[in-house]
């Protein structure tokens, strides 16, 4: 695949099959990173005028295009999704313990923070198990339908299995309380599977970032903020007041996504994100076409594994149905950690989460890489 010579095209480069984790950066991101430095050197303090007048609006437009959001201004940016999780939590009631509905398979940016607050009795958490996957959506919707929650938080694609929630709209509409905050963690879904959030844009938050399938690296995470929800986060940085129209009698907030901004952060990720999005558009690569390419590599890999000739096989896949899976394969095995370590020692990069060995393919892979990966897993 052209466009990755600086990262995966070098002689002796490792076989990187963790595209669901650290995705290599396309070459266009190099010039974008340099441009961020040059703008800072040239504009000095005026850099921020350029960032807020040009760089951020362009990035908002790219996010809105990929998610089919009606208004790009609902998108806020920050260095990581944990910061957005904290701001969402800071919107919850303080006169009583807030009630949260979530799953048992959320990524640590939310799961760890929720568990810590739960330890101190600050929040009450109900967790719905994701397995069995066949009944998850119905079970979660039933739990949401009971009402009484201040926050409903779930992933679009679960990081530990790759299971994809296809009934997001049904789940969101099941929440009966109009004031309940609803958030979808899209980090493993954004740019991995086609996502049309337009029907939910007025009701649910959506958070993701550029580190994974958006191929842009760190410091470019975002939150879509539905109008009217979380109007005044208690966790607030000075950027959140930039678009405030009036000061009223207290701390001012914008009414668009800017109300969830934090404070000063490294904006080079936004430059890289814009460059990668522009490159994908020029190459006419859509999320759907990239997914099709990845599926082809996955099938070639699974075929090359054979039956019983490798350390993992199809029977250990957590999700076998391609229509219910994100863009990586997760194999259930007690040897996941040992296999990942052994492969790493041989310059083959995958990763694991508990007893799940995760293998992901990107647009820079071809069928030959699928065979190499399968051969690396042979006994």
Question: CATH 3.40.640.10 region(s) of the chain?
Answer: 29-279
Q: Distance between CA atoms of 237 and 315, rounded to whole angstroms? A: 49
Predicted confidence band of residue 364 (pLDDT cuts 50, 70, 90): very high
Q: What is the predicted pLDDT for the residue at 309?
A: 82
Kindly report which listed range (188-197, 226-235, 239-248) carries the lowest average pLDDT score: 239-248
Question: CATH 3.90.1150.10 region(s) of the chain?
Answer: 15-27+285-376
The CATH classification number of 15-27+285-376 equals: 3.90.1150.10
pLDDT in tens, 94-126: 999 999 999 999 999 999 999 999 999 999 999
Please, what is the end-to-end C-alpha distance for the chain in angstroms? Answer: 30
Q: Tokens in use for 86?
A: 């904290």
Q: What is the predicted pLDDT for the residue at 13?
A: 81
Task: Give the angle subtended at the CA of 302 by the CAs of 298 and 303, to the nearest 5°.
Answer: 115
- pTM of the predicted protein model: 0.95
Judge whether 93 and 107 are in contact, CB under 8 Å: no
pLDDT in tens, 144-155: 999 999 999 999
| Yes or no: domain 29-279 corresponds to CATH 3.40.640.10 | yes
Q: Distance between CA atoms of 362 and 192, rounded to whole angstroms? A: 10
């Amino acid at each position: 695949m052209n466009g990755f010579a600086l990262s995966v095209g070098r002689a002796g480069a490792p076989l990187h099959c963790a595209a669901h984790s650290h995705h290599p950066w396309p070459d266009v991101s190099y010039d974008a990173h340099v441009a961020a430095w040059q703008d800072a050197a040239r504009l000095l303090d005026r850099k921020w005028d350029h960032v807020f007048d040009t760089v951020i609006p362009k990035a908002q437009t790219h996010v809105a295009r990929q998610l089919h959001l009606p208004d790009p201004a609902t998108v806020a940016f920050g260095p990581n999704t944990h910061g957005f999780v904290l701001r969402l939590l800071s919107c919850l009631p303080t006169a009583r313990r807030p009630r949260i509905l979530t799953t048992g398979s959320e990524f640590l940016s939310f799961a760890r923070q929720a568990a810590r607050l739960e330890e101190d009795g600050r929040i009450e958490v109900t967790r719905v198990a994701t397995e069995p996957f066949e009944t998850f959506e119905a079970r979660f919707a039933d739990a949401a339908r009971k009402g009484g929650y201040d926050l409903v938080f779930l992933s679009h694609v679960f990081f530990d299995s790759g299971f994809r929630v296809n009934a997001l709209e049904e789940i969101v509409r099941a929440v009966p309380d109009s004031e309940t905050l609803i958030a979808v963690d899209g980090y493993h879904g954004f740019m991995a599977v086609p996502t049309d959030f337009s029907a939910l844009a007025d009701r649910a938050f959506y958070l993701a970032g550029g580190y994974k399938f958006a191929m842009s690296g760190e410091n470019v995470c975002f939150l879509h903020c539905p109008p009217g929800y979380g109007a005044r986060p208690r966790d607030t940085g000075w950027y959140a007041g930039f678009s405030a129209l009036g000061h009223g009698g207290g701390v001012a907030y914008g009414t668009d996504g800017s109300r969830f901004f934090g404070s000063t952060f490294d904006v080079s990720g936004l430059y890289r994100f814009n460059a990668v999005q522009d490159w994908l558009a020029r190459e006419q690569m859509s999320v759907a076409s990239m997914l099709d390419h990845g599926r082809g590599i996955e099938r070639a890999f699974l075929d090359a594994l054979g039956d019983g000739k490798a350390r993992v096989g199809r029977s250990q896949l957590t999700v076998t149905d391609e229509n219910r899976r994100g863009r990586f394969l997760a194999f259930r095995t007690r040897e996941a950690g040992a296999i990942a370590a052994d492969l790493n020692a041989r310059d083959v990069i995958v990763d694991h989460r508990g007893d799940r060995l995760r293998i992901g393919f990107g647009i820079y892979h071809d069928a030959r890489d699928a065979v190499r990966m399968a051969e690396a897993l042979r006994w």
